[in-house]
Chains A and B, each alone.
Chain A
Amino acid sequence: MSDQVALRIDDHDVMVPAGSTIWEAARSVGVEIPVLCHDTRLAPIGVCRLCLVDAGEKKLTASCVREVEEGMQVTTRNPKLDACRAGLLELLLADYPADATDRLKTGRDELAELAVAYGIEWDGAADVGGIPAGGGRSSDASSPVIYVNHQACILCDRCIRACDDVQVNEVIGRTGKGYETRIAFDLDDPMGNSTCVSCGECEKVCPTGALSLTILIDEAT
């Protein structure tokens, strides 16, 4: 097998090393595919589904995990993909709390940015695009450094991989199942009582207001 793979992404002819993902290949020619669960420093897992593209197959495919294949014809935008992405954002924003952006973050609130890009209004209480709002998840202020707002967590798994694979601290996992799933520290201990060493990597990679610095914005400014 050749080391380079040729494929077509929208109206670009693309040549990338074998083993690249469609998402990486698209990026190499300036096509940015939206994604919330992926970060270039982490191994991709394809759970937020925003990066779905049409590769001419029966099902849409998550471009962040899907490896390129010779001769692939990939469409990254069309009305159906746009509708799917907007719908997924509405699902996430229906549960996104009003206080998600109240605290200081090292990184950006990428969910709030995508909401703006797709013109989706949310106020943390009312339905979003007809989808009933949710709430009632807890928060955890036990860590001296990082504040955990479970209601703002979209279970993108970035913090889990950053803790495991970037820092090798192995503290964070998922607990529960289905809609009740949350991130958890050790045996679902308060973050401040867990084996967390407060390195801050999880907060840095978090794309929402779920993990933020304990200092409030008004104290910081």
Chain B
Amino acid sequence: MELIHELERAQAERAYLDEVTLRELARSLGVPLYRLQALVSFYPHFRTAPPRRWTIDVCRDMSCYLHDAGTRAEELRAALADNADVEVREASCLGCCELSPAIRVNGAPRRLEDAAKVEAQLTAGGTAAPRPDIRSWRCDPYAPGDPRYQVLRATITSADSHETTDRIIEALEDSGLRGMGGAGFPTGLKWKLVRKEQATPKYVVCNADESEPGTFKDRVIMEQLPHLMIEGMAIAGLTVGAREGIIYLRHEYEAARAALESELDAARAAGALGDDVFGSGISFDIRIFISPGGYILGEETALIEALEDKRGEPRNKPPFPGQKGLWNLPTLMNNVETLAYVPGILLGGADAWKAQGATGFAGLKFISVSGHVERPGVYEIPVGTTVAELIELAGGVSDGRALKAFAPGGASSNFLPASSAGAAIDFAALEEAGSMMGSGALVVVAEDTPMLPLAANVVRFFRNESCGKCVPCRDGTEKAVRMLDSALANGTALDWGTINKLNLLLAETSICGLGYVALNPLISAAEHWPDEVPQEGRSGA
């Protein structure tokens, strides 16, 4: 962590990393030059040229694409072309899809209004950040003003700690809680596996690096319910025998960082974190690591590589992080939302948690809703709510249009047609419907939206975010994009045999999930809208 911290510190001081600075750093830290080059050139947060007075990052991904971000960005670029104070950059999903088309102006998230308005705002010295709308959430067992961290207090001070941790794991297993970051691994089982590892020290890492296009629920949880996630981490530490927690936070989430820092201070003041948690003699504390950027860092082993000051390139698995994670030691890694549910489940019991689901389903779920809806945002719903019901809750398809398609689990989930909108939002039900829960991001697509350019936009995202470590993903995503660009530019059919071959290589031979899913949007678009995806060599097209 030292090397990346030092680079960040140097960049904060000088605004960018010039060659002299990098050579000095390499000398003072005693590392080869190539290691700094490897990091600086890999992570988008680092810059090697002086920034202009204003940097505008324009999101180009799925939800913003559906709000015409491409055209709007071109207008903005043209309007600001003569303004030497402004640099306009294309950026990957910024995690504020409710503002689509979204931009960041010197780091502050905004909706991209018309170009003239942006320029006027810059002249006036920027705009005030939109105020977060503080809401009450069903998963929070604490009423405003109540003392927090009571679940942690009760468990840590109980006499027989092994029996206590047994009970915690049992409750999590009974609740059916699964990882909410995308993979859906059973949480109780994960905790059990890490607990039984003998090597020490162990670590608890909260994966707060959500970057899947259409996904921004973790940001809202961290801004509004940081105490639940922190308590979940501390309970996790107690259960698996870790003394140190790390929150791996994406650097764009500045408001979440402020909320977390303030809540970490409050937790320490309350005795819930520190050398002697609630007088138990047990120590557990949490620090925040700011990610230098990139979607791939949400992959758990890439995240660990970054914590170890390397390029965020996923490892071959097994071994899994639960056995050999950070510094090759047992590491429990959970998503923000997963950890935030833990106090409520333990306080009310697994049955009460499950009873919050719709009939026949269990529990609650945060869903980021974006794309063509009237009221994009984060919704906390009973699991089993249907896609159609959630779209209604979000004000319906925008401008009174009909629903054409949706992706229920973010950019990597298969597109489904409007006829599937009766599907329940639930891990098994969405798989049954031919897609997945993924990161819990419902992206709504209205009638008259061409599917091939949309699918191409998503494939381009995976190409842009591929780390470049393994052959199939590094080369396969690029070749797929070239084929799509050529088909779109010339109105020609796609050579479907080659697309299938690339999909085989990506899905079967990549090191990590980014490669596995990279062509999902294209394959599912071709399946449901064959007329819109002209294919050579595919029967029935």
| Interface of A toward B, CB cutoff 8 Å | 45-49, 52, 59-62, 65-66, 80, 83-84, 87-88, 90-92, 94-95, 129-132, 134, 154-155, 170-181, 184-188, 195
Taking a contact as CB atoms under 8 Å apart, the answer to whether B501 and A187 are in contact is: no
A84 proximity list for chain B (CB < 8 A): 504-505, 508-509
Least CB distance from A89 to B in Å reads 9
- Can you pick out 5 interface pairs between chain A and chain B where the beta carbons lie within 8 Å of each other? A46-B470, A94-B475, A130-B498, A174-B311, A186-B37
Bound-state Cα–Cα, A179 to B474, Å:
5
Asked whether, in the complex, the Cβ of B465 is within 8 Å of the Cβ of A132, the reply is: no
B467 adjacent to A178 (CB under 8 Å): yes
- Kindly identify, within residues 444 to 479 of chain B, every residue whose CB is under 8 Å from any CB belonging to chain A: 463-472, 474-479
In addition to A131-B479, A187-B23, 7 A-B residue pairs with Cβ atoms within 8 Å of each other are: A49-B511, A87-B504, A129-B501, A173-B38, A174-B42, A177-B294, A177-B468
Q: Is the CB of A178 within 8 A of B34?
A: no
How would residues 21 to 33 of chain B score, 1 for a CB under 8 Å from any chain A CB and 0 otherwise?
0110000000011
Instruction: Say yes or no: B316 contacts A62, CB within 8 Å.
Output: yes
Q: B468 touching A185 by the CB < 8 A rule? A: no
**Chain A, Cβ-Cβ closest to B515:** A49
Task: Determine if A176 and B465 form an interchain contact, defined as CB atoms under 8 angstroms apart.
Answer: no
Known: A60-B508, A66-B316. A178 touches B468 (CB 8 A): yes
Taken together as a complex, chains A and B put the C-alpha atoms of A174 and B43 apart, in Å, by 12
**Ordered nearest first, which 3 A-B pairs have the shortest CB separation?**
A173-B34, A130-B498, A181-B468
Of all chain A residues, which has the CB nearest B35? A173
Asked, given contacts A181-B468, A188-B37, whether A155 binds B474 with beta carbons under 8 Å apart, the answer is: yes
Nearest CB on B from A159, distance (A): 11
**CB <8 Å contact, A91 and B42:** no
Q: Tell me, in angstroms, the Cα distance from A59 to B33 when the chains sit together.
A: 37
CA distance A61 to B509 in the complex (A): 8
Is B36 at the interface (CB under 8 A from chain A)?
Answer: yes
Interface string of B433-446 (1 = CB under 8 A from A): 00000000000000
Residue B19 CB within 8 A of the other chain: yes
- Cβ B509 vs Cβ A49 within 8 A: yes
CA distance A33 to B33 in the complex (A): 35
Q: Are B475 and A171 in contact (CB under 8 A)?
A: no
Residues in B neighbouring A154, C-beta threshold 8 A? 471
Taking the nearest CB of chain B, how far is it from the CB of A95, in angstroms? Answer: 7
Q: Which residues of A contact B389 (CB under 8 A)?
A: none
Distance in angstroms from A85 CB to nearest chain B CB is 9
Closest to A49 in B: B509
Q: Which chain B positions have C-beta within 8 A of A170? A: 32, 34
Q: Verify B475–A175 contact, CB threshold 8 A.
A: no
Give the distance to chain A from B496, nearest Cβ to Cβ, in Å: 10
Contact between chains at B34 and A46 (CB < 8 Å) = no
Please, which residues of chain A bring their CB within 8 A of the CB of B316? 45-46, 61-62, 65-66
- Interchain CB contact under 8 A, B34 and A171: yes
| Residue contact A49 to B34, C-beta cutoff 8 Å | no
- Which of B311, B463, B495, B509 contacts A52, CB < 8 Å? B509
Query: Closest approach, in angstroms, between the C-beta of B405 and any C-beta of chain A?
Result: 28
For residue B294, which residues in chain A have a CB less than 8 angstroms away from its CB? Answer: 177
Chain B residues 30 to 75 lying within 8 A of chain A, measured CB to CB, are 32-38, 41-42
Nearest chain B CB to A38 CB, angstrom units: 12
The residues of B that contact A49 with a CB separation of less than 8 Å are 470-472, 509-511
Interface centre among A87, A132, A178, A187 (most CB of B within 10 A): A178
B511 near A46: Cβ-Cβ < 8 Å: yes
Q: Closest residue of chain A to B510, judged by CB?
A: A49
Closest-CB distance, A71 to chain B (whole angstroms) = 15
B502 contacts the other chain (CB 8 A): yes
CB-based contact A95/B475 at 8 Å: yes
CA distance A85 to B191 in the complex (A): 37
Check A178–B464 contact: CB distance below 8 A: yes
B55 to chain A, nearest CB (A): 19
Within 8 A of A (CB), among B67-90: none
Most chain B CB within a 10 A radius of its CB, from A48, A83, A154, A181: A181
Q: Which residues of B contact A187 (CB under 8 A)?
A: 19, 22-23, 33-34, 36-37
